[in-house]
C-alpha cells in the first residue's frame, strides 16, 4: 500500500472537525454556536431600556447657600493659605454688606422614576434636600414644577409630585429574591447626561457601607455616577429592584442601591403624607466578638448582646435583661446589630415581635410590643475599644464599692457595682479598654458589690474569659477579661 498523501490526510481531518462542529452537534462537550444563537442568549437590553426609560426622569433643583464673599484673594478658590483668614474677615457683621459673604444660588441634578400615572416620583432625599425649587423633565422633554411630598433621611428616600396624567410608570420587584450574578440596568442622568443606560450584574446584597442605621444595600457593577442618584436599578423584567443612591468615588464597579422592598415600606407611608414610623425595642446593644462568644459559651460569635435595657421601654416591659443574647426576631436569625436594627425598624409601632433569646445558655422566647422609634432615640452603641486581648498574669485593676452620690450621677437607680480607681498599664484590664472611673456592675452575669464578689465570679469562668458588664458615664457595655490561674 502506498501511504496517503500528507495534504489529503490534513484535508480529511479538517472535514471531520467541521462536521463535528456543526450547530446542534457536539464532540467531547464542544459546541459551536451560530451568531443567532449567541445573540438570543443575551438579554434584550435595547427593548428593556426603551420601555423602562420612559418612566425615568431628570430632577434639577436650586437652593440658596451661604458663602462666596464679594472678593476672593489668592490664586484660586480655597487654594490660598490666606483664604481662611479672609473668610473670617468677610463674615464680620460690622462690614458693609457688599463686602460680606453673600447668599448664592446653587443648582444640582439627580434622577428619579415615576410610580403612579398621576405623577408620584421616587428619588433620593439628598437629591432634593434643602431645595427652593424642583424641576422634573420627562424623557419626551416635558418639564414640570415639583413639590416634596415627604422625605426619610435615614434611608435617603424622598417622594415628589408633579401635576400630570397618564404617565408611564415603573413597578417594584421583590428585592428579597434578587440573586448575585443577575443582570441589571441603571438608568439616570450621570453628570447631567440625560437618559443614560448602563448594564451590569448584582455584585452583592446586604452590603453595609456606614450610611445609616438601616444599611442593607444592593451592590452592582453597572456604572453609577453623580447624577444617577435616585434613579432605578432595573431587573430583566423591567421592574425596579433598587434605587441607586451611593458610590465609592475611588473605586470602579462599586455602586449601591436601596433594596426595593425597604423602599416600598417607606414610600407607602410618605405617599400618605405621614412621617415614617418604625418599631423601637429600647435597648443598648453590642455585637459579639470571638472572646465574648467564648465567655458566653456560644459556638459562634453571632447574635446581639443586650448591654442595657431602658427603663419603661418595650424590652423592659417584656422582661429582656442586660446580658441576654438576641438570636432571632419572628424566627428570622439575627447575626449582628445591623440585622436587628433592620428587622425591628422594618416593623410598625404596636406590632408584636417574637424575640428569641439566649439567657445564661438557655433558649427562651419573649413577646415584645414595639413602640415608636424617633430619630433622637438612636440605639446607643458602646464605645469602641482598641487592641486585642493580651495574656496577663493578673487583672491589673484596682476597685472599690461605688458610693451613693456616684451612683446617682451615673443615672443608676440603686447603689451597686465596683468603681475602677486605677488600671495598671500593660495589664489585661488595660488591654481591654477599662479605665479609671468605669463601674463594673456584673461579672459573668452575676452582680458584684465587693472585690471578693469580683474575684469569685471571675474565677468561676473556668478556662473561659470573664464577661464584665461595665458602666461608663450613662452607658453600659460588655468587655471580656482573661482569667489566668
Closest by alpha carbon to 169, among 93, 128, 112?
112
Instruction: Look up 229 and say whether it is catalytic.
Output: yes
Instruction: Look up 2 and say whether it is catalytic.
Output: no
Closest by alpha carbon to 196, among 151, 231, 160?
231
75-87 as b/e: b if 16+ CB within 10 A: eeeeeeeebeebe
Determine whether the annotation assigns residue 422 to a binding site.
no
Contact (Cβ atoms closer than 8 angstroms) between residue 242 and residue 257? yes
Determine whether the annotation assigns residue 228 to a binding site.
yes
Q: Give the alpha-carbon dihedral of 189, 193, 199, 203, to 10 degrees.
A: -50
Radius of gyration in angstroms for the set of CA atoms belonging to the chain, rounded to a whole number: 31
Using the 8-state DSSP alphabet, how is residue 378 labeled?
P
Question: Which residues lie below 8 Å from residue 77, measured CB to CB, with a gap of 6+?
Answer: none
Q: What are phi and psi of 226, to 5 degrees?
A: -55, 130
Catalytic residue (one of 60, 126, 152, 430): 126
Question: Which residues lie below 8 Å from residue 107, measured CB to CB, with a gap of 6+?
Answer: 60, 61, 62
Give residue 215's Cα distance to chain centre.
Answer: 2
Burial of residue 273 (CB within 10 Å: 0-12, 13-18, 19+) is exposed
Determine whether the annotation assigns residue 27 to a binding site.
no
Sign of the dihedral defined by the CA atoms of residues 76, 80, 84, 90, in that order? negative
Cell of 141: 422633554
The residue written with cell numbers 433558649 in the block is 363
Catalytic residue (one of 229, 427, 457, 461): 229
Beta bridge partners of 368: 353
Rama region for 417: left / alpha / beta (φ>0; ψ in -120 to 50; rest): left
Determine whether the annotation assigns residue 156 to a binding site.
yes
DSSP-based helix, strand, coil % in the chain, nearest 5: 20, 30, 45
Determine whether the annotation assigns residue 351 to a binding site.
no
Instruction: Look up 299 and say whether it is catalytic.
Output: no
Catalytic residue (one of 111, 152, 156, 308): 156
Q: Which positions are annotated as active-site residues?
A: 126, 156, 229
Binding-site residue positions: 126, 156, 227-229
Binding residues for substrate: 126, 156, 227-229
Amino acid at each position: 500500500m502506498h501511504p496517503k498523501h500528507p495534504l489529503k490526510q490534513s484535508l480529511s481531518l479538517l472535514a471531520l472537525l467541521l462536521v463535528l462542529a456543526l450547530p446542534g452537534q457536539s464532540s467531547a462537550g464542544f459546541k459551536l454556536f451560530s451568531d443567532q444563537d449567541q445573540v438570543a442568549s443575551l438579554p434584550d437590553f435595547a427593548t428593556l431600556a426603551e420601555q423602562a426609560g420612559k418612566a425615568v426622569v431628570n430632577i434639577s433643583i436650586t437652593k440658596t447657600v451661604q458663602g462666596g464673599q464679594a472678593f476672593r484673594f489668592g490664586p484660586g478658590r480655597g487654594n490660598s493659605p490666606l483664604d481662611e483668614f479672609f473668610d473670617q474677615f468677610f463674615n464680620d457683621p460690622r462690614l458693609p454688606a457688599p463686602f460680606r459673604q453673600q447668599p448664592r444660588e446653587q443648582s444640582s441634578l439627580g434622577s428619579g422614576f415615576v410610580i403612579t400615572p398621576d405623577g408620584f416620583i421616587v428619588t433620593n432625599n439628598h437629591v432634593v434636600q434643602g431645595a427652593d425649587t424642583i424641576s422634573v423633565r420627562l424623557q419626551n422633554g416635558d418639564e414640570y414644577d415639583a413639590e416634596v411630598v415627604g422625605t426619610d433621611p435615614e434611608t435617603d428616600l424622598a417622594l415628589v409630585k408633579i401635576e400630570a396624567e397618564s404617565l408611564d410608570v415603573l413597578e417594584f420587584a421583590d428585592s428579597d429574591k434578587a440573586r448575585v450574578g443577575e443582570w441589571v440596568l441603571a438608568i439616570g442622568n450621570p453628570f447631567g447626561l440625560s437618559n443614560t443606560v448602563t448594564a451590569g450584574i448584582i455584585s452583592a446584597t446586604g452590603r453595609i457601607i456606614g450610611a445609616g442605621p438601616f444599611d442593607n444595600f444592593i451592590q452592582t457593577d453597572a456604572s453609577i455616577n453623580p447624577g444617577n442618584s435616585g434613579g432605578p436599578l432595573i431587573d430583566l423584567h423591567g421592574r425596579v429592584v433598587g434605587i441607586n443612591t451611593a458610590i465609592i468615588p475611588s473605586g470602579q464597579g462599586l455602586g449601591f442601591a436601596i433594596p426595593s422592598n425597604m423602599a416600598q415600606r417607606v414610600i407607602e407611608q410618605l405617599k400618605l403624607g405621614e412621617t415614617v414610623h418604625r418599631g423601637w425595642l429600647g435597648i443598648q446593644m453590642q455585637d459579639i466578638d470571638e472572646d465574648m462568644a467564648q465567655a458566653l459559651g456560644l459556638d459562634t460569635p453571632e447574635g446581639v448582646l443586650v448591654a442595657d435595657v431602658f427603663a419603661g421601654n418595650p424590652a423592659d416591659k417584656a422582661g429582656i435583661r442586660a446580658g441576654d443574647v438576641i438570636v432571632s426576631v419572628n424566627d428570622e436569625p439575627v447575626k449582628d446589630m445591623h440585622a436587628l436594627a433592620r428587622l425591628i425598624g422594618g416593623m410598625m409601632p404596636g406590632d408584636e415581635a417574637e424575640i428569641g433569646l439566649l439567657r445564661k445558655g438557655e433558649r427562651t422566647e419573649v413577646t415584645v410590643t414595639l413602640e415608636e422609634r424617633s430619630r433622637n432615640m438612636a440605639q446607643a452603641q458602646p464605645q469602641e475599644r482598641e487592641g486585642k486581648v493580651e495574656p496577663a498574669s493578673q487583672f491589673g485593676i484596682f476597685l472599690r464599692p461605688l458610693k451613693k452620690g456616684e451612683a446617682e450621677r451615673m443615672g443608676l437607680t440603686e447603689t451597686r457595682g465596683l468603681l475602677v480607681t486605677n488600671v495598671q498599664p500593660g495589664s489585661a484590664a488595660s488591654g481591654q479598654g477599662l479605665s479609671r472611673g468605669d463601674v463594673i456592675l456584673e461579672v459573668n452575669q452575676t452582680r458584684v458589690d465587693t472585690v471578693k464578689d469580683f474575684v469569685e465570679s471571675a474565677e468561676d469562668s473556668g478556662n473561659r474569659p470573664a464577661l464584665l458588664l461595665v458602666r461608663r458615664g450613662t452607658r453600659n457595655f460588655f468587655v471580656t477579661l482573661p482569667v489566668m490561674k
